[in-house]
Structure 1
Amino acid sequence: MGNYLLISFLLFVYGIINAHSQLFVSNQILPPSCPAPDPTLNYRPIIGIVSHPGDGATGRLSNATNVSYIAASYVKFAEMAGARVIPLIYTEPPEILNQKLNLVNGIIFTGGWAKDGLYFDVIKGIFQKVLEKNDAGERFPLLAICLGYELLTMIITNDNNILEEFSAASQASTVQFVENVNIEGTVFGRFPRVLLKKMSIDCLVMQNHHFGISPERFQANKDLSSFFRVLTTSTDENNKVYVSTIQATRYPIAAFQWHPEKNVFEWGSSRIPHSEDAIQVTTHVANYFISEARKSSNKPVARQVLDSLIYNYNPTYGGKEGL
């Protein structure tokens, strides 16, 4: 009898709960279905990052002549905005590099030191591919950082001596926006106005270079001034002014003398800005670049992408080597 009463009671309680549950469901307002994704955008963008000669630790990790590296900060920079990365190893045969170029939706040229030899030739060849793809109607963005910026000026002017010397190694700095510059559609177009103002007052970007180009030399060179427009300038430790951000007028190409990837992901120098505002600078640059990559119509076979992703390689931790 006891067991019978217990079971009956539980069933009774369940009936009450179930009745209230059905009443609740019938009275609530169901949300509308999620809108369909924009069919013109690619929500699985892939970014190709060109490797740089050496081990990234001045030989402390490897002295092999054919070794090259990609700093993790560039990979995570692309990933933080929703992309995946395929390494473009500059020593690979041209046919392999071309195959990889057909798998990606945008390119990053990294910082570094190499300005000649095979590396220069590969960068020049990839840059030509970027122009060709865009001229053929495919949206194919390029982000060039520090050395990448410098190499673009050399390639576009066909002058390996176009650069000038500056003292801006391991230096946090401001960026000064060119007077009356129109930033709509540029890398700074979606930055909050408050953050743009802070960039001209607070040291929110990291400079780490010995070369650059002055506004006077930049504007005097017809190849440069017709291809790019100057967005910002910065000042080195000797108060010499150099061009620090440029954007192509006809192509989705932006170039920085400074390092947008360092604020969030690098810790080797105490001068790298890590404030909340500095983090926002990195975030907005990454979001801009990947938003451009999403406009790419190239959607390669998934298996080919998976076989080429950077996760097929074993990372090497260099933080203990003084990086």
Structure 2
Amino acid sequence: MFNTQRPHNTKKRRKSILLKFHQFIKMQMETNFLIPFFTIFIQLMATHVKPQLIESQLSFPSCTATDPALNYRPVIGIVSHPGDGASGRLNNASDVSYIAASYVKFAEMAGARVIPIIYTEPPEIINQKLNLVNGIIFTGGWSKKGLYFEVVKGIFEKVLEKNDAGEHFPLLAICLGFELLTMIISKDNNILEEFSASHQASTVQFVENIKFEGTVFGRFPPVLLKKMTTHCLVMQNHRFGISPERLQANNDLCGFFKILTTSVDKKNKAYVSSVQAQHYPITALQWHPEKNVFEWGSSQIPHTEDAIQVSQHVANYFISEARKSSNNKPATSKVLDNLIYNYSPSYAGKVRGSFEEVYLFTPRPTLSSL
């Protein structure tokens, strides 16, 4: 045990030490036996001065208790997209689907795990998987019809049902995901407009008098928000979208979403780039927050420190929303049996795919007895 009492007569002790030190030096010089000055001093101090600890070193900090209203082990469902993500160079089967690994890493870097929602699985399996997760991501891509469209529409309806029933169940729709929501909510499959925004880094312009609190931008530092309006910190890669005028003219869309940001394409044509649902934890981005950190296939993707922070803040916001899904805590064994870790990613960047890595899925018996 350390002696925590302060020594008495400290000044007197120090004076005595120095006196002995001078006497010792004089004796050594008289005998012509020299000892290095600093070695003697350190030895004397170590002999006479006892170690002391300040009070803060003697007590352990008390850790703040976790919030029982939050789920600190959130799981995110990511819906797979038709194809192999590499124009058939990895797998050209007609029934293959993929999830770019960048979306998985995007969720993981904010503290979540991922379960793939394979769109070709039977509806009952998809519905049961939805009960294993605390939020959903709709990814980018190209498919706007057929089975994929119907599955995305069905999952979106389930998201609304869960929230209407009192479960906080967030959805993040990215690029194609935003476009699909626009079509589904408006009930108009022809509502989208063409834009020239493929492989384009851009700025975003915030809607005048927008309130950031409670939105995806709520925790962004003010300096970063300002930079987003002047620096190309977000990555666009789309041919379709919707203009602010067309969104506002549609009663269903303007009643569901509020516009947060707009951007302009290569022809200086404005489109909606970020929206937030007014009554649901649903965010839709026309841009790709996952690419800044994890994709390298296009030289236009911004990789600056500011761009990385944009991605991190979006991920942190979405997963913080998923943590509010505290009532949904399924059996651990079922979660483990269905996590993305049961699959191995394929390296697509080497074959000039659109992504660095992809997870490929082909119809097969489910991994667990859901």
Does TM, scored on the shorter chain, surpass 0.5?
yes
Partner of residue 182 from structure 1, selected from 203, 211, 229: 211
Q: Give the alignment partner of residue 306 of structure 1, picking from 336, 339, 347.
A: 336
Counterparts of 1:131 and 1:294, CA distance in 2: 18
Counterpart secondary structure, 2:325: coil
* Structure 2: distance between partners of 1:194 and 1:24: 42
Distance 2:296 2:280 in 1: 33
**Which letter maps to 1:322?**
R
Cα RMSD (Å): 1.6
Shift of 1:314: 1.8
**C-alpha separation in 1, matches of 2:344 and 2:285:** 29
Residue 35 of structure 1, CA deviation: 1.7
TM normalised by structure 1 equals: 0.92
Q: Percent identity?
A: 77
Deviation at 1:26, TM superposition (A): 9.2
- Which amino acid counterpart does residue 329 of structure 2 have in structure 1? K
Distance 1:150 1:310 in 2: 26
2:202 and 2:170 map into 1 onto residues whose CA distance is 26
**Cα shift readout 1:281-323 (whole Å, capped 9, x = no counterpart):** 0000000000000000211111100000001012111111112
Return the match for 2:303 from 254, 269, 274: 274
Counterpart code for 1:152:
L
**May I ask how many residue pairs the two structures share in their alignment?**
305
Which residue does 2:189 correspond to in 1? Answer: 160
Q: Which residue of 2 aligns with 1:208?
A: 237
Query: How far apart are the structure 2 equivalents of 1:189 and 1:36?
Result: 25
1:144 to 170, 173, 181: 173
C-alpha separation in 1, matches of 2:330 and 2:212: 33
Once residues 191 and 287 of structure 1 are traced to their aligned partners in structure 2, the CA distance between those partners, rounded to angstroms, is: 10
Quick check: which has more Rg, 1 or 2? 2
Provide the rounded CA distance (Å) in 2 between the counterparts of 1:245 and 1:197: 16
Equivalent residue number for residue 236 of structure 1: 265
What's the secondary structure of 1:85's corresponding residue?
A: strand
Amino acid of the structure 2 residue aligned with 1:312 = N
Report the alpha carbon displacement of residue 28 of structure 1 after superposing the two structures with TM. Answer: 3.8
2:259 counterpart letter in structure 1 = V
2:225 equivalent to 1:196: yes
The residue type paired with residue 166 of structure 1 is F
Match of 1:255 in 2: 284
- 1:22-71 CA-partner distances (Å, limit 9, x unpaired): x8599943123212110000000000000000000011111111100000
Q: Does 1:68 align with 2:97?
A: yes
Structure 2 residue matching 1:278: 3-state secondary structure:
helix
Q: 1:33 & 1:250 partners in 2: Cα distance?
A: 38
1:54 aligns with 2:89: no
Aligned residue in 2 for 1:43: 72
Structure 1's unaligned 5+ residue stretches are: 1-15
Distance in 2 of aligned mates of 1:55 and 1:285: 26
Which moves more between the two structures, 24-33 or 143-152?
24-33
In 2, the alpha carbon distance for the partners of 1:229 and 1:149 equals: 13
CA distance in 1, matches of 2:56, 2:166: 52
Mapping for residues 280-319 of structure 1, pairs under 5 Å: 280-297=309-326, 298-319=328-349
TM-score scaled by structure 2? 0.80
Q: In structure 1, what is the Cα distance between the partners aligned to 2:65 and 2:309?
A: 29
User: Counterpart of 2:136?
Assistant: 107
1:29 to 36, 58, 63: 58
Shift of 1:150: 0.1
CA distance in 2, matches of 1:72, 1:315: 7
Equivalent residues in 2 for 1:74-85, closer than 5 Å: 74-85=103-114
The alignment partner of 1:121 has SS state of: helix
Q: CA deviation at 1:184?
A: 1.0
Picking from 144, 149, 153, the partner of 1:120 is 149
| CA distance in structure 1 between the partners assigned to 2:343 and 2:254 by the alignment | 40
What does the per-residue CA deviation read over 1:245-272, in whole Å, with 9 as the maximum and x for residues that have no partner? 0000000000000001000000000000
Q: Distance in 1 between matches of 2:160 and 2:55?
A: 58
Measured in 1, the distance between the counterparts of 2:145 and 2:56 equals 71
What do residues 95-150 of structure 1 show as CA deviations (whole Å, max 9, x unaligned)? 11111100000000000000000000000000000000000000000000000000
Structure 1 runs of 4+ off > 2 angstroms?
Answer: 23-29
* 1:188 Cα deviation from its structure 2 partner: 0.3
SS across alignment from 2:133:
coil
Show structure 2 runs of 5+ residues with no match.
1-45, 354-370
